[in-house]
A and B are shown apart, each in its own frame.
Chain A
Amino acid sequence: MIVASNLTKRYSGGYEALRDISFEISAGQMVFISGHSGAGKTTLVKLISTVERPTSGSLVVNGQNLTALGRNALPYVRRNLGMIFQDQKLLFDRNALDNVMLPLEIAGLPRKDAIRRAQAALDKVGLLAREKALPVTLSGGEQQRLAIARAVVNRPTILIADEPTGNLDAASASDILDIFTDFHRVGVTVVVATHDQSWIDRHPEHVIRLSRGSQQ
Protein backbone atom coordinates (compact mmCIF):
# COMPACT_ATOMS: atom_id res chain seq x y z
CA MET A 1 0.00 0.00 0.00
CA ILE A 2 2.82 2.38 0.94
CA VAL A 3 6.37 1.42 0.01
CA ALA A 4 9.27 3.78 0.76
CA SER A 5 12.81 3.03 -0.41
CA ASN A 6 15.83 5.09 0.64
CA LEU A 7 13.81 8.28 1.09
CA THR A 8 15.82 11.42 1.67
CA LYS A 9 14.41 14.91 2.08
CA ARG A 10 16.60 17.98 2.09
CA TYR A 11 14.80 21.28 2.51
CA SER A 12 15.75 24.23 0.36
CA GLY A 13 17.83 25.69 3.20
CA GLY A 14 20.03 22.57 2.97
CA TYR A 15 18.74 20.92 6.16
CA GLU A 16 18.38 17.17 5.81
CA ALA A 17 15.10 16.35 7.58
CA LEU A 18 15.01 12.67 6.48
CA ARG A 19 17.88 10.33 5.62
CA ASP A 20 17.62 6.97 3.88
CA ILE A 21 14.20 5.89 5.14
CA SER A 22 12.76 2.56 3.94
CA PHE A 23 9.59 0.78 5.07
CA GLU A 24 6.55 -1.02 3.78
CA ILE A 25 2.99 -0.61 5.01
CA SER A 26 0.48 -3.15 3.73
CA ALA A 27 -3.23 -2.60 3.16
CA GLY A 28 -5.35 -2.44 6.31
CA GLN A 29 -2.42 -1.98 8.70
CA MET A 30 -2.33 0.60 11.47
CA VAL A 31 1.15 2.09 11.68
CA PHE A 32 2.68 4.75 13.93
CA ILE A 33 5.51 7.11 13.06
CA SER A 34 7.21 7.98 16.33
CA GLY A 35 10.00 10.28 17.39
CA HIS A 36 10.75 13.41 19.35
CA SER A 37 9.89 16.84 18.12
CA GLY A 38 12.05 17.65 15.10
CA ALA A 39 12.64 13.99 14.27
CA GLY A 40 11.07 14.36 10.82
CA LYS A 41 7.57 12.93 11.40
CA THR A 42 5.73 15.79 9.71
CA THR A 43 8.20 15.74 6.84
CA LEU A 44 7.53 12.03 6.25
CA VAL A 45 3.75 12.60 6.40
CA LYS A 46 4.10 15.44 3.88
CA LEU A 47 6.04 13.20 1.51
CA ILE A 48 3.34 10.50 1.68
CA SER A 49 0.59 13.08 1.10
CA THR A 50 2.53 14.64 -1.84
CA VAL A 51 2.64 18.06 -0.16
CA GLU A 52 6.44 17.82 -0.35
CA ARG A 53 8.53 15.81 -2.80
CA PRO A 54 11.50 13.65 -1.79
CA THR A 55 15.02 14.76 -2.73
CA SER A 56 15.92 11.17 -3.56
CA GLY A 57 14.57 7.67 -3.11
CA SER A 58 11.22 6.37 -4.20
CA LEU A 59 7.76 6.31 -2.68
CA VAL A 60 4.87 4.21 -3.98
CA VAL A 61 1.40 4.89 -2.61
CA ASN A 62 -1.67 2.96 -3.77
CA GLY A 63 0.41 1.48 -6.55
CA GLN A 64 1.46 4.89 -7.86
CA ASN A 65 5.07 5.96 -7.87
CA LEU A 66 4.80 9.46 -6.43
CA THR A 67 8.28 10.48 -7.49
CA ALA A 68 7.38 9.87 -11.15
CA LEU A 69 4.07 11.74 -11.09
CA GLY A 70 3.65 15.08 -12.79
CA ARG A 71 2.35 18.13 -10.99
CA ASN A 72 -1.08 17.85 -12.63
CA ALA A 73 -1.61 14.33 -11.30
CA LEU A 74 -1.05 15.27 -7.65
CA PRO A 75 -4.59 16.53 -6.90
CA TYR A 76 -6.04 13.16 -7.87
CA VAL A 77 -3.57 11.30 -5.63
CA ARG A 78 -4.44 13.57 -2.70
CA ARG A 79 -8.17 12.90 -3.10
CA ASN A 80 -7.60 9.23 -2.33
CA LEU A 81 -5.84 10.03 0.94
CA GLY A 82 -7.58 11.15 4.11
CA MET A 83 -5.33 13.84 5.56
CA ILE A 84 -5.41 15.11 9.12
CA PHE A 85 -2.91 17.94 9.40
CA GLN A 86 -0.92 18.82 12.49
CA ASP A 87 -2.59 22.25 12.58
CA GLN A 88 -5.91 20.75 11.36
CA LYS A 89 -6.47 23.49 8.78
CA LEU A 90 -10.17 23.88 9.50
CA LEU A 91 -11.91 26.79 7.80
CA PHE A 92 -13.11 29.14 10.49
CA ASP A 93 -15.53 31.10 8.34
CA ARG A 94 -17.82 28.12 7.70
CA ASN A 95 -19.70 25.74 9.93
CA ALA A 96 -18.80 22.15 10.73
CA LEU A 97 -20.95 20.65 7.97
CA ASP A 98 -19.53 22.99 5.32
CA ASN A 99 -15.99 22.11 6.44
CA VAL A 100 -16.71 18.44 5.89
CA MET A 101 -18.37 19.19 2.53
CA LEU A 102 -15.17 20.63 1.03
CA PRO A 103 -13.63 17.36 -0.26
CA LEU A 104 -16.99 16.41 -1.79
CA GLU A 105 -17.28 19.79 -3.52
CA ILE A 106 -13.82 19.19 -4.94
CA ALA A 107 -14.94 15.78 -6.18
CA GLY A 108 -18.02 17.39 -7.79
CA LEU A 109 -20.66 15.42 -5.85
CA PRO A 110 -24.27 16.61 -6.19
CA ARG A 111 -25.06 18.86 -3.25
CA LYS A 112 -27.79 16.65 -1.77
CA ASP A 113 -25.59 13.55 -1.75
CA ALA A 114 -22.72 15.61 -0.39
CA ILE A 115 -24.82 16.83 2.54
CA ARG A 116 -25.95 13.30 3.32
CA ARG A 117 -22.42 11.94 3.27
CA ALA A 118 -21.02 14.84 5.27
CA GLN A 119 -23.67 14.27 7.92
CA ALA A 120 -22.83 10.57 8.02
CA ALA A 121 -19.15 11.44 8.52
CA LEU A 122 -20.02 13.89 11.31
CA ASP A 123 -22.17 11.20 12.90
CA LYS A 124 -19.25 8.75 12.84
CA VAL A 125 -17.11 11.12 14.93
CA GLY A 126 -20.02 12.07 17.21
CA LEU A 127 -20.49 15.63 15.94
CA LEU A 128 -23.78 15.41 14.08
CA ALA A 129 -25.51 17.52 16.72
CA ARG A 130 -22.94 20.27 16.13
CA GLU A 131 -23.18 20.38 12.31
CA LYS A 132 -24.15 24.07 12.29
CA ALA A 133 -21.46 25.08 14.80
CA LEU A 134 -18.55 27.27 13.76
CA PRO A 135 -15.17 25.62 14.49
CA VAL A 136 -14.20 28.31 17.07
CA THR A 137 -17.14 27.25 19.22
CA LEU A 138 -15.86 23.65 19.33
CA SER A 139 -13.48 22.26 21.97
CA GLY A 140 -10.00 21.06 20.99
CA GLY A 141 -11.13 17.44 20.90
CA GLU A 142 -14.21 18.32 18.84
CA GLN A 143 -12.09 20.28 16.37
CA GLN A 144 -9.83 17.27 15.95
CA ARG A 145 -12.84 15.03 15.37
CA LEU A 146 -14.14 17.53 12.80
CA ALA A 147 -10.79 17.30 11.00
CA ILE A 148 -11.15 13.50 11.02
CA ALA A 149 -14.68 13.73 9.60
CA ARG A 150 -13.37 15.87 6.73
CA ALA A 151 -10.54 13.39 6.11
CA VAL A 152 -12.82 10.33 5.92
CA VAL A 153 -15.85 11.81 4.14
CA ASN A 154 -14.42 10.83 0.75
CA ARG A 155 -14.00 7.20 1.96
CA PRO A 156 -10.23 7.09 1.42
CA THR A 157 -8.37 3.79 1.61
CA ILE A 158 -5.53 5.47 3.51
CA LEU A 159 -5.90 7.75 6.52
CA ILE A 160 -2.87 9.82 7.55
CA ALA A 161 -2.81 11.86 10.74
CA ASP A 162 -0.05 14.16 12.00
CA GLU A 163 0.02 14.45 15.81
CA PRO A 164 -3.76 14.14 16.11
CA THR A 165 -3.61 14.38 19.91
CA GLY A 166 -0.94 17.08 20.05
CA ASN A 167 -2.54 19.26 22.69
CA LEU A 168 -5.53 17.24 23.87
CA ASP A 169 -6.26 15.98 27.36
CA ALA A 170 -5.93 12.22 27.95
CA ALA A 171 -9.67 11.50 27.66
CA SER A 172 -10.08 13.31 24.32
CA ALA A 173 -6.87 11.71 23.04
CA SER A 174 -8.23 8.28 23.92
CA ASP A 175 -11.49 9.07 22.01
CA ILE A 176 -9.44 9.98 18.94
CA LEU A 177 -7.42 6.77 19.14
CA ASP A 178 -10.68 4.81 19.38
CA ILE A 179 -11.97 6.47 16.21
CA PHE A 180 -8.78 5.57 14.31
CA THR A 181 -9.00 2.01 15.62
CA ASP A 182 -12.59 1.80 14.31
CA PHE A 183 -11.45 2.80 10.82
CA HIS A 184 -8.56 0.36 11.02
CA ARG A 185 -11.05 -2.41 11.91
CA VAL A 186 -13.14 -1.77 8.78
CA GLY A 187 -10.05 -2.14 6.60
CA VAL A 188 -8.71 1.41 6.23
CA THR A 189 -4.93 1.73 6.26
CA VAL A 190 -4.11 4.15 9.10
CA VAL A 191 -0.81 6.01 9.48
CA VAL A 192 -0.42 8.17 12.58
CA ALA A 193 2.59 10.34 13.39
CA THR A 194 2.79 10.85 17.14
CA HIS A 195 5.19 11.45 20.00
CA ASP A 196 2.57 10.04 22.39
CA GLN A 197 4.31 7.02 23.96
CA SER A 198 1.08 5.58 25.42
CA TRP A 199 -0.30 4.96 21.89
CA ILE A 200 2.85 3.25 20.80
CA ASP A 201 2.76 1.09 23.90
CA ARG A 202 -0.77 -0.04 22.99
CA HIS A 203 0.25 -0.96 19.40
CA PRO A 204 3.99 -1.65 19.54
CA GLU A 205 4.01 -4.04 16.59
CA HIS A 206 3.94 -1.47 13.74
CA VAL A 207 6.09 1.52 14.52
CA ILE A 208 8.45 3.50 12.28
CA ARG A 209 10.89 5.12 14.73
CA LEU A 210 12.61 8.31 13.65
CA SER A 211 15.41 10.11 15.41
CA ARG A 212 16.88 13.31 13.92
CA GLY A 213 15.85 12.24 10.45
CA SER A 214 17.18 8.69 10.61
CA GLN A 215 15.30 5.44 11.02
CA GLN A 216 15.99 3.34 14.12
Chain B
Amino acid sequence: MSATLIQHQAAFASALRRLWATPLNTLLSLLAIGIVLTLPAFGYVLLDNLRDLGRNTSGVQEISLFMSLDAGKREVGEIENRLKQVTNARWRFVPKEEALKRIEASEGMAEIVASLPRNPLPDAFVIEPENSKPEALEVLRKELAGWPKVEHVQLDSAWIKRFDAFLRLGKLALTLLAGLFGAGLVAVTFNTIRLQVMAHAAEIEVAKMIGATNFFIKRPFLYYGALQGTLGGLLAAALTLIGLSLLAGPVAELAALYGGNFALRAPGPGEIAVLCGIGAGLGWLGAQLSVSLSLRKFD
Protein backbone atom coordinates (compact mmCIF):
# COMPACT_ATOMS: atom_id res chain seq x y z
CA MET B 1 0.00 0.00 0.00
CA SER B 2 1.36 3.45 -0.88
CA ALA B 3 2.19 6.01 1.78
CA THR B 4 -0.50 8.36 0.47
CA LEU B 5 -3.18 5.70 0.70
CA ILE B 6 -2.11 4.87 4.24
CA GLN B 7 -2.29 8.54 5.15
CA HIS B 8 -5.78 8.83 3.67
CA GLN B 9 -6.91 5.81 5.63
CA ALA B 10 -5.43 7.21 8.82
CA ALA B 11 -7.01 10.63 8.20
CA PHE B 12 -10.41 9.02 7.63
CA ALA B 13 -10.12 6.99 10.82
CA SER B 14 -9.02 10.07 12.73
CA ALA B 15 -11.98 12.06 11.36
CA LEU B 16 -14.35 9.33 12.55
CA ARG B 17 -12.70 9.33 15.98
CA ARG B 18 -13.01 13.11 16.21
CA LEU B 19 -16.71 12.99 15.27
CA TRP B 20 -17.23 10.31 17.87
CA ALA B 21 -15.15 12.06 20.54
CA THR B 22 -17.68 14.91 20.95
CA PRO B 23 -21.05 13.19 20.47
CA LEU B 24 -23.21 16.12 21.54
CA ASN B 25 -21.49 18.64 19.26
CA THR B 26 -21.59 16.16 16.42
CA LEU B 27 -25.28 15.48 16.97
CA LEU B 28 -26.12 19.20 16.99
CA SER B 29 -24.12 19.87 13.82
CA LEU B 30 -25.70 16.89 12.10
CA LEU B 31 -29.14 18.12 13.08
CA ALA B 32 -28.39 21.60 11.70
CA ILE B 33 -27.02 20.18 8.45
CA GLY B 34 -29.82 17.62 8.18
CA ILE B 35 -32.52 20.26 8.49
CA VAL B 36 -30.70 22.61 6.12
CA LEU B 37 -30.68 19.84 3.51
CA THR B 38 -34.19 18.57 4.20
CA LEU B 39 -36.04 21.67 2.99
CA PRO B 40 -34.62 21.73 -0.55
CA ALA B 41 -34.72 17.93 -0.75
CA PHE B 42 -38.38 17.89 0.21
CA GLY B 43 -39.14 20.68 -2.25
CA TYR B 44 -37.37 18.74 -4.98
CA VAL B 45 -39.38 15.59 -4.30
CA LEU B 46 -42.66 17.52 -4.32
CA LEU B 47 -41.85 19.29 -7.59
CA ASP B 48 -40.80 16.01 -9.13
CA ASN B 49 -44.12 14.47 -8.15
CA LEU B 50 -46.03 17.42 -9.56
CA ARG B 51 -44.19 17.06 -12.86
CA ASP B 52 -45.11 13.37 -12.99
CA LEU B 53 -48.68 14.33 -12.27
CA GLY B 54 -48.69 16.79 -15.17
CA ARG B 55 -47.18 14.23 -17.53
CA ASN B 56 -49.49 11.39 -16.68
CA THR B 57 -52.76 13.24 -16.93
CA SER B 58 -54.07 11.84 -20.24
CA GLY B 59 -55.38 14.04 -23.09
CA VAL B 60 -53.15 16.93 -22.31
CA GLN B 61 -50.74 16.37 -25.13
CA GLU B 62 -53.30 16.31 -27.91
CA ILE B 63 -53.32 18.55 -30.93
CA SER B 64 -56.56 18.83 -32.92
CA LEU B 65 -56.22 19.58 -36.61
CA PHE B 66 -59.41 20.71 -38.41
CA MET B 67 -59.60 20.61 -42.21
CA SER B 68 -61.46 23.29 -44.09
CA LEU B 69 -65.05 22.39 -44.90
CA ASP B 70 -64.39 22.20 -48.60
CA ALA B 71 -61.50 19.75 -48.23
CA GLY B 72 -62.11 16.52 -50.11
CA LYS B 73 -60.75 12.97 -49.90
CA ARG B 74 -57.64 13.92 -51.84
CA GLU B 75 -56.64 16.69 -49.42
CA VAL B 76 -57.32 14.47 -46.42
CA GLY B 77 -55.12 11.82 -48.03
CA GLU B 78 -52.36 14.41 -48.45
CA ILE B 79 -52.47 15.28 -44.74
CA GLU B 80 -52.45 11.59 -43.86
CA ASN B 81 -49.32 11.14 -45.97
CA ARG B 82 -47.60 14.00 -44.29
CA LEU B 83 -48.54 12.81 -40.82
CA LYS B 84 -47.11 9.38 -41.62
CA GLN B 85 -43.75 11.09 -42.07
CA VAL B 86 -43.96 12.67 -38.65
CA THR B 87 -42.79 9.48 -37.00
CA ASN B 88 -42.72 10.64 -33.42
CA ALA B 89 -46.45 11.17 -33.14
CA ARG B 90 -49.50 8.95 -32.94
CA TRP B 91 -52.56 10.23 -34.68
CA ARG B 92 -56.01 9.22 -35.70
CA PHE B 93 -58.44 10.53 -38.30
CA VAL B 94 -61.90 11.65 -37.21
CA PRO B 95 -64.15 11.89 -40.29
CA LYS B 96 -66.87 14.53 -40.10
CA GLU B 97 -69.58 11.83 -40.13
CA GLU B 98 -68.13 10.25 -37.01
CA ALA B 99 -67.89 13.61 -35.30
CA LEU B 100 -71.50 14.29 -36.08
CA LYS B 101 -72.53 10.90 -34.76
CA ARG B 102 -70.76 11.57 -31.49
CA ILE B 103 -72.59 14.82 -31.07
CA GLU B 104 -75.85 13.13 -31.90
CA ALA B 105 -75.17 10.61 -29.16
CA SER B 106 -74.95 13.32 -26.53
CA GLU B 107 -78.11 13.98 -24.68
CA GLY B 108 -80.47 16.56 -26.19
CA MET B 109 -78.32 17.03 -29.25
CA ALA B 110 -80.08 14.50 -31.52
CA GLU B 111 -82.91 16.85 -32.47
CA ILE B 112 -80.62 19.73 -33.11
CA VAL B 113 -78.45 17.62 -35.37
CA ALA B 114 -81.49 16.27 -37.14
CA SER B 115 -82.65 19.80 -37.87
CA LEU B 116 -79.38 20.70 -39.59
CA PRO B 117 -79.58 20.87 -43.35
CA ARG B 118 -76.11 19.38 -43.72
CA ASN B 119 -73.09 18.35 -41.63
CA PRO B 120 -71.45 21.55 -40.37
CA LEU B 121 -68.40 19.76 -38.97
CA PRO B 122 -65.03 19.46 -40.67
CA ASP B 123 -62.86 16.39 -41.01
CA ALA B 124 -60.32 16.35 -38.22
CA PHE B 125 -57.17 14.68 -36.99
CA VAL B 126 -56.24 14.14 -33.36
CA ILE B 127 -52.48 14.02 -32.95
CA GLU B 128 -50.55 12.85 -29.90
CA PRO B 129 -46.89 13.80 -30.23
CA GLU B 130 -44.38 11.86 -28.17
CA ASN B 131 -42.53 14.98 -27.20
CA SER B 132 -45.02 16.78 -25.01
CA LYS B 133 -42.85 19.75 -24.04
CA PRO B 134 -44.85 22.94 -24.56
CA GLU B 135 -42.16 24.42 -26.84
CA ALA B 136 -42.11 21.33 -29.07
CA LEU B 137 -45.89 21.29 -29.24
CA GLU B 138 -45.92 24.90 -30.31
CA VAL B 139 -43.41 24.24 -33.10
CA LEU B 140 -45.48 21.31 -34.33
CA ARG B 141 -48.64 23.38 -34.21
CA LYS B 142 -47.10 26.08 -36.40
CA GLU B 143 -45.94 23.48 -38.91
CA LEU B 144 -49.34 21.78 -39.11
CA ALA B 145 -51.11 25.08 -39.54
CA GLY B 146 -49.11 25.73 -42.70
CA TRP B 147 -50.25 22.55 -44.41
CA PRO B 148 -52.72 22.80 -47.34
CA LYS B 149 -56.43 22.94 -46.59
CA VAL B 150 -55.84 23.05 -42.86
CA GLU B 151 -58.32 25.47 -41.37
CA HIS B 152 -57.30 25.46 -37.74
CA VAL B 153 -54.88 23.73 -35.41
CA GLN B 154 -55.69 23.71 -31.76
CA LEU B 155 -53.31 22.95 -28.96
CA ASP B 156 -55.22 21.63 -26.00
CA SER B 157 -52.49 22.85 -23.76
CA ALA B 158 -53.26 26.26 -22.39
CA TRP B 159 -53.19 24.80 -18.93
CA ILE B 160 -50.10 22.74 -19.66
CA LYS B 161 -48.35 26.01 -20.32
CA ARG B 162 -49.59 27.44 -17.10
CA PHE B 163 -48.64 24.30 -15.23
CA ASP B 164 -45.24 24.32 -16.85
CA ALA B 165 -44.70 27.97 -15.97
CA PHE B 166 -45.66 27.14 -12.41
CA LEU B 167 -43.21 24.25 -12.33
CA ARG B 168 -40.46 26.46 -13.71
CA LEU B 169 -41.16 29.06 -11.07
CA GLY B 170 -41.07 26.33 -8.45
CA LYS B 171 -37.76 25.10 -9.80
CA LEU B 172 -36.29 28.59 -9.69
CA ALA B 173 -37.48 29.11 -6.13
CA LEU B 174 -36.07 25.71 -5.22
CA THR B 175 -32.71 26.54 -6.81
CA LEU B 176 -32.51 29.79 -4.87
CA LEU B 177 -33.50 28.01 -1.68
CA ALA B 178 -30.99 25.25 -2.29
CA GLY B 179 -28.24 27.80 -2.94
CA LEU B 180 -29.07 29.63 0.25
CA PHE B 181 -29.22 26.48 2.33
CA GLY B 182 -26.09 25.10 0.68
CA ALA B 183 -24.29 28.24 1.83
CA GLY B 184 -25.76 27.55 5.26
CA LEU B 185 -24.23 24.09 5.24
CA VAL B 186 -20.84 25.49 4.24
CA ALA B 187 -21.12 28.02 7.08
CA VAL B 188 -22.02 25.38 9.67
CA THR B 189 -19.08 23.23 8.56
CA PHE B 190 -16.76 26.24 8.49
CA ASN B 191 -17.52 26.90 12.12
CA THR B 192 -17.23 23.32 13.38
CA ILE B 193 -13.90 22.94 11.59
CA ARG B 194 -12.64 26.22 13.04
CA LEU B 195 -13.39 24.89 16.51
CA GLN B 196 -11.77 21.56 15.63
CA VAL B 197 -8.59 23.28 14.46
CA MET B 198 -8.47 25.27 17.70
CA ALA B 199 -8.94 22.09 19.72
CA HIS B 200 -6.03 20.45 17.88
CA ALA B 201 -3.73 23.47 17.82
CA ALA B 202 -0.94 21.76 19.81
CA GLU B 203 -0.95 18.73 17.56
CA ILE B 204 -0.91 20.85 14.40
CA GLU B 205 2.00 22.95 15.67
CA VAL B 206 4.11 19.91 16.58
CA ALA B 207 3.25 18.04 13.39
CA LYS B 208 4.32 21.03 11.28
CA MET B 209 7.58 21.38 13.19
CA ILE B 210 8.55 17.76 12.62
CA GLY B 211 7.78 17.75 8.91
CA ALA B 212 4.06 17.42 8.25
CA THR B 213 2.93 18.97 4.97
CA ASN B 214 -0.08 21.28 4.99
CA PHE B 215 -1.98 18.61 3.15
CA PHE B 216 -1.26 16.04 5.86
CA ILE B 217 -2.68 18.42 8.43
CA LYS B 218 -5.71 19.37 6.36
CA ARG B 219 -6.70 15.83 5.44
CA PRO B 220 -8.48 14.73 8.64
CA PHE B 221 -10.41 18.00 8.73
CA LEU B 222 -11.49 17.62 5.10
CA TYR B 223 -12.69 14.11 5.83
CA TYR B 224 -14.42 15.40 8.93
CA GLY B 225 -16.33 18.00 6.91
CA ALA B 226 -17.21 15.56 4.16
CA LEU B 227 -18.30 12.86 6.61
CA GLN B 228 -20.42 15.32 8.55
CA GLY B 229 -22.04 16.44 5.31
CA THR B 230 -22.69 12.86 4.22
CA LEU B 231 -24.30 11.94 7.53
CA GLY B 232 -26.31 15.18 7.36
CA GLY B 233 -27.48 14.11 3.88
CA LEU B 234 -28.58 10.74 5.24
CA LEU B 235 -30.46 12.45 8.04
CA ALA B 236 -32.14 14.77 5.51
CA ALA B 237 -33.14 11.74 3.41
CA ALA B 238 -34.67 10.11 6.48
CA LEU B 239 -36.55 13.30 7.37
CA THR B 240 -37.82 13.61 3.79
CA LEU B 241 -39.03 10.01 3.76
CA ILE B 242 -40.80 10.55 7.08
CA GLY B 243 -42.41 13.72 5.74
CA LEU B 244 -43.59 11.91 2.60
CA SER B 245 -45.05 9.03 4.55
CA LEU B 246 -46.98 11.54 6.65
CA LEU B 247 -48.32 13.12 3.43
CA ALA B 248 -49.10 9.80 1.75
CA GLY B 249 -52.49 9.29 3.45
CA PRO B 250 -53.95 12.74 2.72
CA VAL B 251 -52.64 12.67 -0.86
CA ALA B 252 -54.25 9.31 -1.54
CA GLU B 253 -57.55 10.61 -0.17
CA LEU B 254 -57.36 13.70 -2.33
CA ALA B 255 -56.52 11.64 -5.42
CA ALA B 256 -59.47 9.35 -4.69
CA LEU B 257 -61.79 12.37 -4.60
CA TYR B 258 -60.75 13.17 -8.18
CA GLY B 259 -61.12 9.57 -9.22
CA GLY B 260 -57.39 8.99 -9.68
CA ASN B 261 -54.98 6.77 -7.89
CA PHE B 262 -51.96 9.02 -7.58
CA ALA B 263 -49.31 8.06 -5.07
CA LEU B 264 -46.32 10.18 -4.03
CA ARG B 265 -43.06 8.82 -5.37
CA ALA B 266 -40.39 8.62 -2.67
CA PRO B 267 -36.74 9.36 -3.50
CA GLY B 268 -34.83 6.24 -4.56
CA PRO B 269 -31.36 5.08 -3.46
CA GLY B 270 -29.77 6.98 -6.36
CA GLU B 271 -31.35 10.25 -5.29
CA ILE B 272 -30.40 9.65 -1.65
CA ALA B 273 -26.83 8.99 -2.80
CA VAL B 274 -26.85 12.30 -4.70
CA LEU B 275 -28.14 14.09 -1.61
CA CYS B 276 -25.34 12.58 0.50
CA GLY B 277 -22.87 13.46 -2.25
CA ILE B 278 -24.00 17.08 -2.21
CA GLY B 279 -23.72 17.09 1.58
CA ALA B 280 -20.22 15.62 1.35
CA GLY B 281 -19.14 18.12 -1.32
CA LEU B 282 -20.42 21.15 0.56
CA GLY B 283 -18.99 19.84 3.84
CA TRP B 284 -15.64 19.35 2.17
CA LEU B 285 -15.81 22.89 0.76
CA GLY B 286 -16.61 24.41 4.17
CA ALA B 287 -13.78 22.44 5.75
CA GLN B 288 -11.34 23.43 3.01
CA LEU B 289 -12.13 27.13 3.40
CA SER B 290 -11.99 26.95 7.18
CA VAL B 291 -8.81 24.93 7.57
CA SER B 292 -6.93 26.90 4.91
CA LEU B 293 -7.76 30.09 6.74
CA SER B 294 -7.00 28.68 10.20
CA LEU B 295 -3.68 27.16 9.15
CA ARG B 296 -2.26 30.55 8.23
CA LYS B 297 -1.88 31.23 11.94
CA PHE B 298 0.57 28.35 12.24
CA ASP B 299 3.14 29.63 9.76
Bound Cα distance A103, B206 (Å): 10
From residue A121, how far is it (CB to closest CB) to chain B in Å?
A: 14
Residues of B within 8 A of A182 (CB): none
* A72, A75, A89, A150: residue with the most chain B Cβ atoms closer than 10 Å: A75
> Which stretch in A62-70, A77-85, A206-214 binds the other chain?
A77-85
**The residue from A76, A91, A92 contacting B211, defined by CB atoms under 8 A apart:** A76
Q: Is the CB of B1 within 8 A of A110?
A: yes
Q: Is the CB of B209 within 8 A of A85?
A: yes
User: Quick one: CB contact mask for A101-120 with B, threshold 8 Å, 1 for yes?
Assistant: 01101111111000000000
**The residue from A93, A102, A108, A109 contacting B210, defined by CB atoms under 8 A apart:** A102
Bound Cα distance A110, B9 (Å): 10
From residue A50, how far is it (CB to closest CB) to chain B in Å?
A: 9
Also in contact, A109 and B206, with CB within 8 A (given A75-B211, A75-B213, A103-B211): no
Residues of A within 8 A of B207 (CB): 102, 106
Within 127-168 of A, Cβ neighbours of B (below 8 Å) are at: 150
B114 CB-CB contact with A under 8 Å = no
From residue B11, how far is it (CB to closest CB) to chain A in Å?
A: 9
A51 CB-CB contact with B under 8 Å = yes
* B2, B10, B202: residue with the most chain A Cβ atoms closer than 10 Å: B10
Number of A-B contacts (CB under 8 A): 52
Residues of B within 8 A of A49 (CB): 209
Bound Cα distance A89, B212 (Å): 15
**The residue from B2, B3, B206, B208 contacting A91, defined by CB atoms under 8 A apart:** B206
Q: Is the CB of B211 within 8 A of A78?
A: yes
User: Which residue of B has the minimal Cβ distance to A88?
Assistant: B206
Bound Cα distance A72, B208 (Å): 12
Q: Is the CB of A75 within 8 A of B3?
A: no
Q: Is the CB of B3 within 8 A of A108?
A: yes
Q: Is the CB of B211 within 8 A of A111?
A: no
Also in contact, A79 and B210, with CB within 8 A (given A91-B202, A91-B203, A106-B216): yes
Bound Cα distance A103, B212 (Å): 8
Residues of A within 8 A of B211 (CB): 75-79, 103, 106
From residue A46, how far is it (CB to closest CB) to chain B in Å?
A: 10
Also in contact, A106 and B209, with CB within 8 A (given A91-B202, A91-B203, A111-B10): no
Residues of chain B touching chain A, judged by Cβ–Cβ distance below 8 Å, are: 1-4, 6-7, 10, 202-203, 205-213, 216
